[in-house]
Structure 1
């Protein structure tokens, strides 16, 4: 299986969830060598090629970051499209038209494509990206194939809940976020699970 150096991968999102990355890294670190190798093979990083043939990640950013944290230098990948013949402007607009880029910072402000991070490790932390992942893993909503679905959930939680400033505040948000995810306010979001007890 072909692999790429994680340090050479370019992100297509301005933010990631630091807590989500730490949790994934801990889970990977706990695996025996053979099981880790199998886990890595089961989740290849999904990429497109951009200008100058540079690889851009369009799925599994957090997986790549977590593996880098535990010292895994290279990862298997799946190439979805080759856009290396496009100009930089054409490339980013093409990604945006396919919902393969998220050019918004943790405060939900749009950033210029030229200001997107060049390395996965340079993405900003967004507490609500982690919260969305934790809520999904706790059964608050279903995983969806809709592009940027987790970002939509993160934006939803950001709009309804206070920003945590420490571990205790983050942990205290999980139950309110789970209740919010099952409420009618979330009905239009991808992966919404209707609460039949209502």
Structure 2
């Protein structure tokens, strides 16, 4: 499987959930030798080639950032599409049309594509993205194959509850509230919804 340097990997989103990155980094740091190599191989980063032949990650940003935080410099990748013949504007528009980019900051505001971070370890922390992951782990909704699903849930929580705390140890109350919201009528239509689908 082809590997590339993590610091050459371009992100296609502006934020991540730092709690998830820290947790994954600790998991990688506990491993060594073959176990570490197997864990890394389990989650290759899907990429597209963009202008200038640069590799852009279209998923698993948390994995790449966690590997970097754990001191790992190379990551396996899987090529999904070669869009290197496109100029910047049509390239980013193609990514957006295919749901391969999320150009929004930690406040949920749209940003221009030129303002996207250059490296996966430069992504802005969005506590609501961390909350979305923790709510899913707590059974609030199911993981699906819908692209960018966690960001859609993060946006729901952003509009329905106050900002979650900065550290995971203080997240319990926010997660409980998030699960309630995830199973309520306000979440109908989101990927992985587990509540009353009838809307009654």
1:188 paired residue number? 189
> Distance in 2 between the 1:110 and 1:162 partners?
20
Tell me which residue corresponds to 1:120. Answer: 120
Matched, 1:171 2:169: no
Contact 2:182–2:195 (8 Å) recurs in 1: no
Aligned CA RMSD, in angstroms, stands at: 1.6
Q: CA deviation at 1:31?
A: 2.6
Match of 2:99 in 1: 99
Distance across 1 between alignment mates of 2:117 and 2:66:
17
Alpha-carbon distance between aligned partners in 2 of 1:185 and 1:109, rounded to the nearest angstrom = 21
Listed as ranges, the gaps of 5+ residues in structure 1 are none
Q: Partners of 1:105 and 1:112 in 2: how far apart? A: 10
Partner Cα separation in structure 1 for residue 3 and residue 32 of structure 2: 21
CA distance in 2, matches of 1:135, 1:35: 29
The 1-side partners of 2:39 and 2:165 are apart by 32
Question: How far off its partner does 1:33 sit?
Answer: 2.7
Q: Contact (CA 8 Å) 2:6, 2:75: kept in 1 or not?
A: yes
* Number of residues of Structure 1 aligned to a counterpart in Structure 2: 197
Question: Which blocks of at least 5 consecutive residues in structure 2 are unaligned?
Answer: none
Aligned: 1:143 with 2:112: no
Instruction: Please report the TM-score for the alignment, with normalisation by the length of structure 1.
Output: 0.94
Contact 2:18–2:126, Cα closer than 8 Å, also in 1: yes
Structure 1 partner of 2:27:
27
SS of 1:147 mapped into structure 2:
coil
My pick for the range that moved more, 157-166 or 91-100, is 157-166
Could you tell which deviates more after superposition, 168-177 or 91-100? 168-177
